[in-house]
Amino acid sequence: MPASIEAQINAIYRNESRRVRATLIRLLKDFDLAEEATQDAFAAALQQWPTDGVPNNPRAWLVSTGRFKAIDHVRRRARFQTALMDIADALEAAISDSEEWDEDRLEDDQLRLIFTCCHPSLAPEAQLALTLREVCGLTTEAIARAFLTTPSTLAQRIVRAKHKIRDAKIPYEIPSRSELPARLDAVLQVIYLVFNEGYSASSGNELIRQELAQEAIRLGRLVAELLPEAEALGLLALMLIQDSRHHARLDAQGDLIRLEDQDRTLWNREQIAEGAALIQRALPTGEAHSYCIQAAIALLHAEAPHFAETDWREIAGFYDLLLRINPSPIVELNRAVAIAMRDGPAAGLALIDALLARGQLNDYHLAHAARAELLQQLGEQPAAITAFETALSLTQQATEQRFLQRRLALLK
């Protein structure tokens, strides 16, 4: 196989496989059958494209091929279970070529899938787990780590959610406008989780999975167009501003560059300006939503000409507000860092120590890394080394591991 064709297929798999699977889930109305059909479609591409060339619309080709592969698969099984022949006939009759090749419909299929996975009849933890697996393509092991549970327990949760969708005949569709507000929070939370996994991967060799971050932004735009409420606009603004820095976050070797050391000329000013405009649209509603506040904090970082000119007093004030409306240990940790920048490392360290003393975030590597940085600033080198070592033992991410190892080497 020509190397260029193989590289193209690998790139299409990275960027399009989740969308292909989402469309096949809608068409086939079966998660597992759609997963198998997606793999079969890419296997067919590996065989045919080196000879025939890459089609003009690879995604539509893959959807069409996957659909026929699935129907063939069901027909083969029908030899042993005659009831499946009716299912195969129904699948073939229900899918028209015009629907299959409708680009607008294909574009919206991931959003349809998110709304399906976030249906209110599913438990909240099942909604998140199923979406991260089916929309993001995260492994069961990675999701289990995020949920602090075992892969087997997480897998059972996902299987039960799929069966619920099938047995309750939950439709693969974007709900009506009257139903959207009740479903919005769960969908926004899932899109934010998708973005976070792209912005800072929970495990693996690559810290940034840009294709996931871009997909989350694309989905965020669709939701903001469907329902331009303050929280949807705020989330889109937050993602745009955070993503604006991605070219400056890693060096040529793929190692992490801290915010204070980043080359700010590499930040995408168009995305920052778009995020600022979205915040201005959201603020007049008079409602203080979590995503809007986080976006405002991100904007203060983005608009500072230099790290030394960051308005930490304003940022700490926003964290005070965020803690009141969305109390969580992560918000407390970020607030502690902001207060350390405003009032000195001892003030921030006291807050982090109190947080850890309550038994919260003891297994969160960034809490120990932040504590280590403050201890180092206070000249407490042995304690800083211990804290860095704890952080290193807790992270599953190769880029962060290298960063913490460098910090430890400097101290030692």
pLDDT digits (tens, 9 = 90+) for 170-223: 888 888 877 877 788 888 988 898 898 888 876 667 777 888 888 889 889 988
- What residue spans define the domains of the chain? 1-101, 104-187+216-221
The pair of structure tokens assigned to 138 is: 């995260």
Nearest to 397 by CA among 213, 208, 248, 215: 208
pLDDT at 97: 46
Query: Taking Cα atoms as reference points, which of 59, 22, 16, 21 lies closest to residue 37?
Result: 21
pLDDT of residue 100: 47
**Residues 6 or more apart in contact with residue 326 via CB below 8 angstroms:** 290
Q: With H, G, I as helix, E, B as strand and everything else as coil, classify residue 256.
A: strand
DSSP for residue 397: E
Q: Which two tokens stand for residue 35?
A: 């997963």
Nearest residue to 399 via CA among 248, 262, 250: 250
Average pLDDT of every residue of the chain = 86
Q: Is the pLDDT of residue 89 over 70?
A: no
Q: How many Cβ atoms sit within 10 Å of the Cβ of residue 178? A: 7
pLDDT at 71: 83
- Mean per-residue pLDDT for 289-293? 92
Structure tokens at 303: 């608009």
Provide the 8-state DSSP code for 208: -
**Local structure of 403: helix, strand or coil:** helix
For residue 244 the two structure tokens come to 């604006």
The number of residues in the chain equals 412
DSSP 163-207: HHHHHTT--SSPPPTTTHHHHHHHHHHHHHHHHHHHHS-SEES-S
pLDDT value of position 30: 86
Digit-coded pLDDT (tens) for 122-179: 888 888 888 888 877 778 887 777 666 788 998 999 999 999 998 888 888 888 877 8
Whole-number Å distance between alpha carbons of 41 and 59: 10
**What pLDDT is recorded for position 82?**
52
**What does each C-alpha distance from 243 to 97, 215, 216, 295, 318 come to in angstroms?**
37, 12, 11, 12, 20
Measured distance CA(15)–CA(21) in Å, rounded: 12
Count of beta carbons in the 10 Å neighbourhood of residue 78: 16
pLDDT at 238 (0 to 100): 97
What pLDDT is stored for residue 174 in this prediction? Answer: 81
Average the pLDDT over 268-288 and give the result: 88
- Alpha carbons 129 and 194: distance in angstroms, whole number: 11
Residue given tokens 């309750």 in the structure block: 168
Predicted local distance difference test score (pLDDT) of residue 3: 64
At 76, the pLDDT band (50, 70, 90 cuts) reads: confident
pLDDT at 266: 96
Q: In the prediction, which pLDDT does 178 show?
A: 79
Helix (H) or strand (E) holding 396: strand 396-397
**176's tokens:** 């009506």
With H, G, I as helix, E, B as strand and everything else as coil, classify residue 379.
coil
CA distance 129 to 234: 24
pLDDT digits (tens, 9 = 90+) for 322-381: 999 989 999 999 999 999 999 999 999 999 999 999 988 999 999 999 999 999 999 999
* Backbone dihedral angles phi then psi of residue 397, each to the nearest 5 degrees: -105, 125
State residue 285's pLDDT score.
64
Any bridge partners for residue 203, and if so which?
396
pLDDT tier for residue 92 given thresholds of 50, 70 and 90: low
Calculate what percentage of the chain has a pLDDT beyond 70: 89
Task: Decide if pLDDT at 98 tops 70.
Answer: no
pLDDT band at 99 (very low <50, low <70, confident <90, very high): very low
Half-sphere exposure at residue 357, Cβ-oriented, CA atoms within 13 angstroms: 6
On whether the CB atoms of residues 114 and 219 are closer than 8 A, the answer is: yes
Q: For a pLDDT cut of 90, what percent of the chain falls above it?
A: 47
